[in-house]
Structures are given as C-alpha cells and as structure tokens.
C-alpha cells in the first residue's frame, strides 16, 4: 500500500513537471526565438511560466499534490499567487518595453489581435485577486465573502489565460500548449467541484446533527 502511494505521488509530481516543463522546453527550442530580442523572449517565457502557475494553484487549494498538508497547501497557494502576479508584471512590462503602441492598444481593448482582450481581462483579474489577498485582513473580509469574490475571479483568470494562450501563434508548440491548457481547465474544474461537494457535505452533516 505504501509502495502504491509513493508511486502515485511520484507520478503526480512527474506529470505536473512535464505539463509545465515540456511547453517551456519546446518554446526554448523554437526557431522564432532567433528573430526576437532578449526582453521580448523574457516577456514570453514569463507568460508561459504564469500559465504553469495557474495550473499549480487549483492543485494546491484542492489538496491534490502529495506531501503537502492542507495548511502548507494554502500557504503555498498564497505565495504562488504572488509569484503569478509578478510573472504577469514581467510579461506585460517586457511587451511594453518592446512595443508600447501595441500594449496601449491591448490595455485599452482596441487591439486588432483576437487574443489581447482575453489576456488583459485575465491580467486585471489576477491583480485584483492579489491585491484583495494582500488587504484581506485590513478589509475584514470573511472567508465566505472572500470565496464569493475569489471564485468568480479565478474562473475569469483560468478562462482568459487559456483562451489567450490558445489563440497566440508564437514560440509555444501546439500540442504541448494544448495539453497544458487542458490540464489547467481540468484541474480548476475538479477543484471547484470537489470543494463545492465538500461544503455541501459539511452543511448536510451539520443539519443532521443539529437539535430538532
């Protein structure tokens, strides 16, 4: 039994590493990099890393990563959220440095490229979550209120990031990009379903033991 659990844990971590690492490796070997400047390349890889972090977040909050307690998973979720926001800042700042007019069009939702509005929407959702998480105690947000805010924003982040990534024809290889995006969607849906089921069970259990 212990051997199976150990093997399962190893498989989960390996699968996660491959889901994130393969797209990065494929992008690193893209022929298009020869025509890109270092700042643009940094911005592009920051975007790929950001998508990888979006995959990690539901896995952490859902408790699917072996070896992490619920408390450590929540703490890691918090800190990786900050890393995600930083990666997005690097992504946007690098693109702004290389082409300010394109970024102005993107940020004002006037860009002709179909992927821009999805990326910008996801970006603002990420910044909003990061800001609210940092100010949650000062604002006095209760857990229920925080969830009511965080969950819809998380859906916007995931949907916007995935569509943004899929619509871009850049350095990322098609199949590995699609697999990463599918993994992000699957992990997010599973985490939300499982956590919702857990809350319902807790509510039903509380009702069943309540005095009548």
pLDDT tens-place string over residues 103-126: 999 999 999 999 999 999 999 999
pTM over 0.75: yes
Q: Alpha helix locations (H) across 67-142? A: 70-98, 100-107, 116-139
pLDDT at 209: 42
pLDDT at 163 over 80: yes
Q: Would you place residue 211 in the very low, low, confident or very high pLDDT band (cuts 50, 70, 90)?
A: very low
Q: How many CA atoms lie within 13 A of 127 on its CB side?
A: 10
Distance of CA 48 to the CA centre of its chain: 10
pLDDT, tens digit, for every residue of 56-105? 999 999 999 999 988 899 999 999 999 999 999 999 999 999 999 999 99
Q: Would you place residue 1 in the very low, low, confident or very high pLDDT band (cuts 50, 70, 90)?
A: low
Output DSSP code: residue 33.
Answer: G
Tokens encoding 58: 């539901």
Percent of the chain's residues with pLDDT above 70: 91
Per the model's pLDDT, the better-predicted residue between 210 and 151 turns out to be 151
Q: Would you place residue 212 in the very low, low, confident or very high pLDDT band (cuts 50, 70, 90)?
A: very low
Q: Would you place residue 195 in the very low, low, confident or very high pLDDT band (cuts 50, 70, 90)?
A: confident
Q: Would you place residue 206 in the very low, low, confident or very high pLDDT band (cuts 50, 70, 90)?
A: very low
Q: CB under 8 Å to 206, separation ≥6 — which residues? A: none
């Amino acid at each position: 039994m212990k051997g199976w659990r150990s093997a399962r844990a190893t498989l989960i971590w390996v699968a996660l590493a491959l889901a994130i690492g393969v797209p990065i490796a494929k992008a690193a070997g893209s022929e298009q990099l020869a025509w890109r400047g270092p700042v643009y390349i940094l911005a592009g890889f920051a975007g790929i890393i950001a998508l990888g972090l979006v995959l990690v977040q539901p896995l952490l909050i859902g408790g699917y990563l072996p070896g992490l307690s619920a408390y450590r998973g929540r703490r890691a979720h918090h800190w990786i959220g900050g890393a995600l926001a930083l990666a997005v800042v690097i992504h946007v700042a690098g693109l702004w440095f290389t082409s300010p007019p394109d970024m102005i069009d993107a940020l004002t939702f006037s860009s002709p490229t179909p992927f821009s509005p999805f990326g910008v929407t996801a970006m603002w959702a990420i910044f909003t979550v990061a800001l609210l998480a940092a100010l949650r105690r000062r604002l006095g947000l209760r857990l229920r209120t925080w969830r009511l805010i965080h969950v819809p924003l998380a859906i916007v982040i995931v949907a916007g990031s995935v569509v943004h990534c899929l619509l871009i024809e850049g350095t990322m290889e098609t199949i590995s990009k699609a697999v990463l995006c599918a993994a992000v969607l699957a992990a997010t849906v599973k985490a939300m379903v499982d956590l919702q089921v857990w809350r319902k069970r807790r509510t039903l259990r509380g009702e069943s033991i309540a005095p009548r």
